[in-house]
Copies of this chain bind each other. A is one copy, B any other.
């Protein structure tokens, strides 16, 4: 059994994962409690220790982080949400505390790609790009069965690519930005009668629901999002030459509404060499991808 850990700015998830990718048990801690209590590193040591005592069957621990890692995968070098972890030799600390256990760390979006690779329905598809569309926008790439990490270890940070809007992809299609855009459109006279005006709280799901009922504004919002994702994918495909694309994360539920424009952009800018056998589909693991991918890190090691 493997302990998969998915570190986030809000919470840290622990999951007991079988080699077949089944999550037997999971626990969630609040990141702020760790930071404000013993401190992040001490809290992580303590909770891992208790978990290992409770589940002595665990042979390895894989940890996914929402930040940049050192090329040698020994530490986190950039993670604004948890500044105290920066440059701490976390793998060495955990290994000396628990010498009988394998530890590995990886970036969270890259973990999600590994999760799809090991445990998704498209299992073992040898080359693909997973685009994770949530509050942030990230990606993980599997190339010929190996995780692609780029020259210095932190490639595929695609949320920070620039789009034709003059702003980054994440600043346009990240969930909060997308909702802000929707609100700005609601203020326009054209959309004075949009059914979205009846909603107190907007979310990708709410906007998708209204699109499904034919609301012109909701449909236009997804069209806009699809265009931006599509044009960014054009650039990613040109750099990485990958034509299997999986879309995951919080807005992927609106797949049917943003796909037409997304595809239109790709057909517009990419020649048949890229599009002829292109596959674009939904990621299959949803919220568990990161946790399962963190566990997947250990599958390679043991």
Contacts and interface: CB of A to CB of B under 8 A. Distances in A.
A93 B265 CA distance: 39
Interface string A256-273: 000000000000010101
A164 B164 contact: yes
Contacts of A25: none
Contacts of A154: 241, 273
A235 B163 CA distance: 9
A241 B152 contact: yes
A235 B161 contact: yes
A157 B231 contact: no
Interface in A130-188: 141, 143-144, 149-158, 160-166, 168
A191 interface: no
A151 B162 contact: no
A239 B127 contact: no
A208 interface: no
Interface in A66-106: 68, 77-78
A269 B162 contact: yes
A157 B239 contact: yes
Nearest to A167: B164
B156 A127 contact: no
27 contacts: A78-B271, A127-B151, A127-B152, A141-B151, A149-B241, A151-B241, A151-B242, A151-B243, A152-B241, A153-B241, A154-B241, A155-B239, A155-B241, A156-B238, A156-B239, A157-B241, A160-B234, A160-B238, A160-B269, A161-B234, A161-B235, A161-B238, A162-B231, A162-B235, A162-B269, A164-B165, A239-B239
Given A155-B238, A157-B241, 19 more contacts: A78-B271, A141-B151, A144-B151, A149-B241, A150-B239, A150-B240, A151-B241, A151-B242, A154-B273, A156-B239, A157-B238, A157-B239, A160-B234, A161-B238, A162-B163, A162-B164, A164-B165, A168-B269, A239-B239
